[in-house]
Amino acid sequence: MMKIGIFSNPGSASTRVSNALKSKIKAEHLVLDNDDPDILITVGGDGTLLSAFHHYEKQLAKIRFVGIHTGHLGFYTDWRDYEVDELIDSLAHDNGQSVSYPLLDILIEYSDGKKQSMLALNESTLKKLTGTMLANVYIKDQLFELFRGDGLCVSTPTGSTAYNKSAGGAVVSSELDVVQVSEIASINNRVFRTLGSPIIISPQEWVRIEPVELNENLMTCDQKVVENRQIKSVTYRISKQRIAFAQYRHTQFWKRVSESFIGVKPVD
Ligand code: NAP
């Protein structure tokens, strides 16, 4: 029997939806299990889905996610709060349909030699708490540039519409297995020079960032923050793991981008 978990943000609208979900799941004789779910329904926004992703990070191989948005439609959230009955019907007729997206593999090496692996759904950024970040950037172990500026943002295709977009990165189709590196306010003048545009690397390539000053670095992985640790290097590549979503309906990626950012209507 398929086990269903619910991960809700604490807001009143989300709590109402999650309570309605719980009683309808019981009424359909589906099994509620937040510890070991096959399907994990998040209730809130894209931020809630990001939190759920990290909460269930160790169980990714087994879980399919479903996102209900209690506000506008999101990038990871295909369902609206008033569609609970339709969703329950889809769950009752589930036949394992799914779609999966790439994740970002992060390997941090600290100055004491310790290493830490992390996984991002949207992106990871590397910045300096105060002042300009100075860092050597390597692609496949080959020095690419000396970066000076606020920081660098390394994102997945589905994360390309988040922080990456604010940093001037390209929106990347969720059907591509690539990693994008975008600059956050780089300094470019006659003395300092970076490429000045985002780059996109293939699954066979990796990027390593080595801050020149080891103190006061700030590294993020989605909403998680690593600070007050001396980071020697961070290596980014496409992960072997992916996130899966139960695909009961298909919202075309570019339609979602257009509706979320432009809201264009055809002219008759
Ligand atoms: P938040 O600062 O409360 O919200 C960030 C916003 O980004 C929310 O509106 C969220 O949508 C939206 N969002 C999240 N993932 C997205 C995606 N893949 N595509 C498009 N929009 C997306 O933080 P949060 O909710 O905890 O989310 C963390 C994310 O915030 C980070 O992963 C990063 O991408 C983003 N962020 C962006 C900036 C920036 O653009 N300058 C700065 C810091 C962090 P919902 O309203 O549906 O939750």
pLDDT score at 112? 96
**CA of residue 77 to ligand 1 center, whole Å:** 13
Q: Is 148 annotated as a binding residue?
A: yes
State what percent of residues in the chain have pLDDT above 90. 89
Residue 1 has what pLDDT? 85
Domains defined along the chain, listed by start: 3-97+247-261 (3.40.50.10330), 103-240 (2.60.200.30)
pLDDT of residue 268: 79
Residue nearest to ligand 1 atom 37, measured at CA: 163
Nearest protein CA to atom 32 of ligand 1, as residue: 222
**What are the residue numbers of the active site?**
46
- How much is the pLDDT for 267? 84
Q: Is residue 56 annotated as involved in ligand binding?
A: no
Question: What would the pLDDT profile of 169-228 be if each residue is shown by its tens digit?
Answer: 999 999 999 999 999 999 999 989 999 999 999 999 999 999 999 989 999 999 999 988
Mutating to test ligand 1, I would choose from 49, 50, 155, 225 the residue with most ligand atoms within 8 A of its C-beta, which is 50
* pTM (predicted TM-score): 0.96
Beta strands 199-201 and 224-227 are unpaired
pLDDT tens sequence across 249-267: 888 899 999 989 998 777 8
* Packing angle of the helix pair 84-92, 12-27 (nearest 10 deg): 40
Q: How far is the CA of 78 from the centre of ligand 1 (A)?
A: 16
Residue ranges of the chain with per-residue pLDDT less than 50: none
The atom number, within ligand 1, closest to the CA of 47 reads: 25
Are 178 and 172 in contact, with CB atoms under 8 Å apart? yes
With a 6 A CB cut-off, is 157 part of the ligand 1 pocket? Answer: no
Question: 100 with 243: CB under 8 angstroms?
Answer: yes
